Each structure stands twice: as structure tokens, then as C-alpha cells.
Amino acid sequence: MLTRIDHIGIACHDLDATVEFYRATYGFEVFHTEVNDEQGVREAMLKINDTSDGGASYLQLLEPVREDSAVGKWLAKNGEGVHHIAFGTADVDADAADIRGKGVRVLYEEPRRGSMGSRITFLHPKDCHGVLTELVTSAAVESPEH
């Protein structure tokens, strides 16, 4: 069961400048940064608020580290802006299987490693009214068998 908006991913050309914009304009502070080599991005998670299920909601700022990464290609085609929306779930495997059963294409056969040790998968934007959609199980919420 999807429990919250986990984050909204925003593609940018310059992570440091974009972080500074969100800090100076809205007062959002960086909660976590990392480079995800598999996804080809350098990212910053800006925490917006805690949620009732023990998780949180974030803005995820994404700067490609390779032009051939998914975010790099998207940025070259679309420019800076909202890249995807992510919903939090206690069980990404079960929710992905349920959604796949409803005819929505799930992009990864098995969930992959996401930000802060989470497990993630994506849903095809053509099946989600043009919105690239991510499902996220936070590391803190993840069940021990995964």
C-alpha cells in the first residue's frame, strides 16, 4: 500500500547551485547527498517534513554524472525541471507486483538500490499519464528479508 509522497525528483545541470536556490528561497536544508553510480547521478535529498508512517517527504535534486545516464538524456531533451514523483511503500516488491497486475509496466524486474539505501523501481510514464513514477521502500522501513 502506498503511504506517502516520498519525494519529487528534480533534474538539474548544477546540483550545488540548485541546492543553494532551494536553501535561500525556501529554507530547505540538505538531509543527505550521494553519488549513485548505477543511476549515473549525483543527488541531494532536501527534507521537507516527517510523515505519519515514520518516513519523510523530500525534494530529490539530481545532477547527471554521465551524459548517457537516464537523467542526463532526460535533461538534454527536456531541460531542468520535475523528473519524477516517488511514492513510499512498506513493500516495493508487493506493490510493484500488484501494479504490474493492473497492466502498468514496471521498468525493473527486481527493485534496485536507491537513495539512502532504499529499494526502488519505476513505472513507465506512458502507463501513468505521462508521469515517471517511482516506488520506494526506505531502508528504515524495509522488511528484513529484502
Given a contact cutoff of 8 angstroms between Cβ atoms, the answer to whether 139 and 120 are in contact is: no
d(CA 127, CA 83): 16
Catalytic residue at 84?
yes
Q: Which of 39, 43, 63, 83 is catalytic?
A: 43
Of the residues 7, 39, 63, 83, only one is catalytic, namely 7
Respond yes or no: is residue 134 known to be catalytic: yes
Note if 39 is an active site residue. Answer: no
Instruction: Name the active-site residue from 39, 63, 83, 84.
Output: 84
Candidates 39, 60, 63, 83; catalytic one: 60
Catalytic member of 39, 63, 83, 134: 134
At 42, give phi and psi (nearest 5°): -105, 135
Burial class from Cβ neighbours inside 10 Å (0-12, 13-18, 19+) for residue 122 reads buried
- Residues labelled as active-site residues: 7, 43, 60, 84, 134
